[in-house]
Amino acid sequence: MHLATHFFVSWLLADVVAENDRERCILTFSGILPDIDILPATLMGFSGRSQTIIDVYQKYHHVLAHNFTAALILSAAVLLLTRRKYKTALWAFIIFHLHLLFDLLGSAGPDGSIWAINYLYPFSQTPLEFNGQWALNAWPNIIITLALMAFTIYQAKRKGYSPISMISKKADRIFVETISNRFKR
Ligand SMILES: [Zn+2]
């Protein structure tokens, strides 16, 4: 699925299970980590060799960080960052796998070609795939993303903070004030 979908679902789940701002940030990041290679691919795509970059990206994107080994490395890193909070590391592992599940469900190409995940990489190249996978740009992904976005805004109004708080508390206050005024009863 799209990065935005992963971001909103990870934020919403992190918001339920995290015990402080830092953990919320770490857990949200855990849910978008598998797609981190989008950044260099996008940046390099502007350098003029975009088709080569797209080809490499499509070949390796569901391989490099969409696997069990990456989940273990992430969980170990979270253990270090949280001074051995096993519960947070376990949630990072779960949120990471939620990303993989979403990708298995809705990441097919426009022609219906299934985009598998190399879950056992680098120990095995056996692809993991779901035959009912719908296209990346299909309506279920749009509906799911819009629903997650709407729920994120609803929660921001209710709780008084939004994902923007991970970047700037001041900008977050302005955002929450704006939506609170906009959706005032
Ligand atoms: Zn992904």
Residue 103 C-alpha to ligand 1 middle, in angstroms?
A: 6
What is the total count of domains within the chain? 1
Residue 99 C-alpha to ligand 1 middle, in angstroms?
A: 6
pTM of structure: 0.90
Question: Is 117 inside a domain boundary?
Answer: yes
Q: What is the pLDDT along the chain (185 residues), one digit of tens a residue?
A: 999 999 999 999 999 999 999 999 999 999 999 998 887 777 776 666 677 777 777 788 888 899 999 999 999 999 999 998 999 999 999 999 999 999 999 999 888 899 999 999 999 989 999 999 999 999 999 999 999 999 999 999 999 999 999 999 999 999 999 999 988 76
Residue 87 C-alpha to ligand 1 middle, in angstroms?
A: 23
Question: Is 93 inside a domain boundary?
Answer: yes
Residue 170 C-alpha to ligand 1 middle, in angstroms?
A: 31
Question: Is 153 inside a domain boundary?
Answer: no
Question: Is 149 inside a domain boundary?
Answer: no
Question: Is 100 inside a domain boundary?
Answer: yes
Q: Which domain holds residue 117?
A: 3-133
For residue 55, the model assigns a pLDDT of: 78
For residue 54, the model assigns a pLDDT of: 75
For residue 183, the model assigns a pLDDT of: 84
Question: Is 68 inside a domain boundary?
Answer: yes
Residue 153 C-alpha to ligand 1 middle, in angstroms?
A: 24
Residue 94 C-alpha to ligand 1 middle, in angstroms?
A: 14
Question: Is 118 inside a domain boundary?
Answer: yes
HEC string for the chain: CCHHHHHHHHHHHHHHHCCCHHHHHHHHHHHHHHHCCHHHHHHHHCCCCHHHHHHHHHHHHHHHCCCHHHHHHHHHHHHHHCCCCHHHHHHHHHHHHHHHHHHHHCCECCCCCCCCECCCCCCCCCCECCCCCCECCCHHHHHHHHHHHHHHHHHHHHHCCCHHHHCCHHHHHHHHHHHHHHCCC
Question: Is 86 inside a domain boundary?
Answer: yes
